[in-house]
A and B are shown apart, each in its own frame.
Chain A
Amino acid sequence: MAEEKSQASSSKMLTLKASDGVLFEVELNIAKEMKTVQAYIDDCEDIETIPIPNVLGKHLAIVIEYIKKTNEEYDAEFEKQWNMDDLQLLLLAANYLNISGLQECLCKAIAKRIENKSPEYVRKVFNIENDHSPEEEAKLRKEYKWAFEGVDKD
């Protein structure tokens, strides 16, 4: 059962504006979990609307919910809902907003999803070009054949 973070510290509200213009009204103590936002507040005390230019509204909503609800059980279920692209975009958002707990949770989730996959799958997921020569790649596969056993079919 998720527990809402206590609102005892402050009922002051802040508005966060996502890159696509979506606005979110959040309590100050929730916003402070994003160290980037905290730095913004420290610089300009009277600010009411903080721009978050790197994060889409869709992802900011997810991030805010994570902060409100996070605990071990929630973390375990949290990552299951999102596809690979969303997980990566959420990771970028968590990194930009500087929320270390969420960043770790997402890294672990993505790692878990690719753990048993082939290099081809991984290249597609992360949009990586294979710059190994065919000989180099063949050599690596031959030398470490055992590491390629039992891998999920693409």
Chain B
Amino acid sequence: MYLRCICSNKYEYAIGKEEKKCITLPSTVVLPHDLIVELLSYLPVKSLVRFRSVCKSWKTVIYDPTFVKLHLKRSPTRNPLFTLTTYHVPRTLGYYYSVIPYPISRFIENRSFNLSVDPYYSLEDKECSHIVGTCNGLICLSHYSYIDDQFNKEFWLRLWNPATRTISPQFGYFRGFYVFDFKFGYDNSTGKYKVVAFRYHNQKSNVRILSFGDNVWRDIEGLPAVPVHLHFNYHEHAAIGCVYLCGSLNWLAIHNINEYNYKDITVGQFLIVSLDLGTETYNQYMLPRRVDGVLSGTPTVSVLGGCLCFSYSYKETDFVIWQMKKFGVEDSWTQFLKISFHNLQVECNFSKPRMMHYFELVPLFLSENGDTLALTSIGDSNAILYNLSDNRVEQTKFTAARITTSGCSQWRNQKKITGWAAKKFMTYNL
């Protein structure tokens, strides 16, 4: 017997030589239930789906909503992905997109790559034409059909969980005139996923909300200010005008659109209108007061490092990003980055009509260690990677393999959505 702690990697007992032999015994260790649950919470979704067949109690655990929440909590520690959407020519008109989940870390290491698209990720067999948004690994899709020649449409949604390969049937039908935009988010207070449909027309807005599960649209109060990007009809880029963060949807807005003149706008004219998905009421937040000078084009909102961000072009020479370090606290606006377009190796032509109304450079995401910022120009299929510590700029180059749309998978009926998040998904059109 030893009296002192043995401080080395190789421990040795001078008890008997048998101890040093390597014996493989059949396992006699039985872990208690709570340790099994903890173990399972660190597994990726594909493994969990497979391990449901291990035994009945594992199947029960894996289906349990409390476990689902625990697993979701662990997911930021796993490999975060973002989603690329590719545009391709399908067999059936109207379904143009496929989704490609891609690990952020791999993207940062390897800027040029060929993407091969898994046919499972095509929207075609899901019969949806648009990606509304992503949250906790779930992707909300939408589609519509015209019901007459007066632009009246019928809209509907589907909720898709690519990690478990399950998709809901169509739900949330409603009929509406003109264009409705949708946004998808998660209400932390009730644990419900919600979809918000909003329409802005003739300086009036209609907003309605649906909780997944209830499947009933409820009209709520309209937006208290004008959502700037919608005013200029940039629906396909609704992403730059409204973002989901911390259980709320946040629009870049302006109080009096009639005072808006893109030639000499200042930050003070804008505000953030925030819809709390729990209370379904609005808050309004001012933008950083310390910004002076004239902006070129309407700014954009985005989310970086878990914070609401506000970015714009300053005097047509610099790109600036502010971060709201503490959500909802106006004093916490901090300038995150100011870099010249020249250093970013980006050419911004401010005489282009689109640039007059909104500014095209959009932040995509920040790497886990906060070192690398990914940006893109709207409509461009490449991204820029800017390294904040050494000021290096690199352009990415994607080529997506053409999708062969043969072999559509069978339509799935009545699948249960378990709401797992294997990875953090963010959708951007690249």
| Contacts from A to B (Cβ < 8 Å) | 21-26, 57-58, 61-62, 64-65, 68, 81, 83-85, 88-89, 91-92, 95, 103, 107-108, 110-112, 114-116, 118-119, 122-132, 137, 140-141, 144, 146-148, 151
Contact = CB atoms under 8 A, between A and B. Distances in A.
B5 A124 contact: no
A61 B56 contact: no
A60 B31 CA distance: 18
Contact of B5 (A24, A137, A141): A24
A130 B5 contact: no
B13 interface: yes
Contact of A22 (B13, B50, B165): B13
Given A137-B53, A144-B50, A23 B31 contact: no
Given A103-B38, A131-B55, A144-B49, 15 more contacts: A22-B2, A25-B4, A61-B5, A68-B7, A81-B9, A85-B25, A85-B29, A92-B35, A116-B47, A123-B55, A125-B27, A128-B54, A131-B56, A132-B53, A140-B59
Interface in B1-36: 1-9, 11, 13, 24-31, 35-36
A84 B39 CA distance: 13
Contacts of B1: 21-23
A122 B7 contact: no
Contacts, number: 113
Contacts of A58: 11, 13
A116 B50 CA distance: 10
B54 A130 contact: yes
Contact of B38 (A107, A116, A124): A107
9 tightest A-B CB contacts, nearest first: A111-B42, A147-B49, A147-B50, A88-B29, A140-B53, A24-B5, A61-B11, A119-B54, A127-B27
B302 to A, nearest CB: 31
B139 to A, nearest CB: 17
B44 interface: yes
A147 B46 contact: yes
Contacts of A68: 7
Interface residues of B, number: 41
Does more than half of chain B's interface fall in helix, strand or loop, or is it mixed? Answer: loop
28 contacts: A21-B1, A22-B1, A22-B13, A23-B1, A24-B5, A24-B6, A25-B4, A58-B11, A61-B11, A65-B7, A68-B7, A85-B25, A88-B27, A88-B29, A88-B31, A91-B31, A107-B38, A107-B41, A111-B42, A112-B42, A115-B47, A124-B27, A127-B27, A127-B30, A128-B58, A131-B56, A132-B53, A147-B49
Contacts of B147: none
A151 B3 CA distance: 47
Nearest to B120: A146
B5 A84 contact: no
B3 A23 contact: yes
A126 B31 contact: yes
B63 to A, nearest CB: 12
A115 B31 contact: no
A55 B391 CA distance: 52
A65 B9 contact: yes
B398 interface: no
Given A62-B11, A140-B52, A91 B36 contact: no
Contacts of B30: 126-127
Contacts of B4: 24-25
B42 A108 contact: yes
Nearest to A94: B35
B51 interface: yes
A21 B56 CA distance: 39
A146 B163 CA distance: 11
A141 B59 CA distance: 13
B43 interface: yes
Nearest to B40: A111
B36 A148 contact: no
Contacts of A151: 50
Contact of B27 (A85, A108, A110): A85
Contacts of B27: 84-85, 88, 124-127
Given A85-B29, A107-B38, A132 B5 contact: no
A130 B55 contact: yes
Contacts of B35: 91-92, 95, 107
A127 B53 contact: no
Contacts of A129: 55
Contacts of A111: 39-40, 42-43
Contacts of A112: 42
A23 B13 CA distance: 12
Interface centre among B30, B51, B54, B59 (most CB of A within 10 A): B54
B13 A57 contact: yes
Contacts of B3: 23, 25
B53 A141 contact: yes
A81 to B, nearest CB: 7
Contacts of A144: 49-50, 52, 165
Nearest to A89: B29
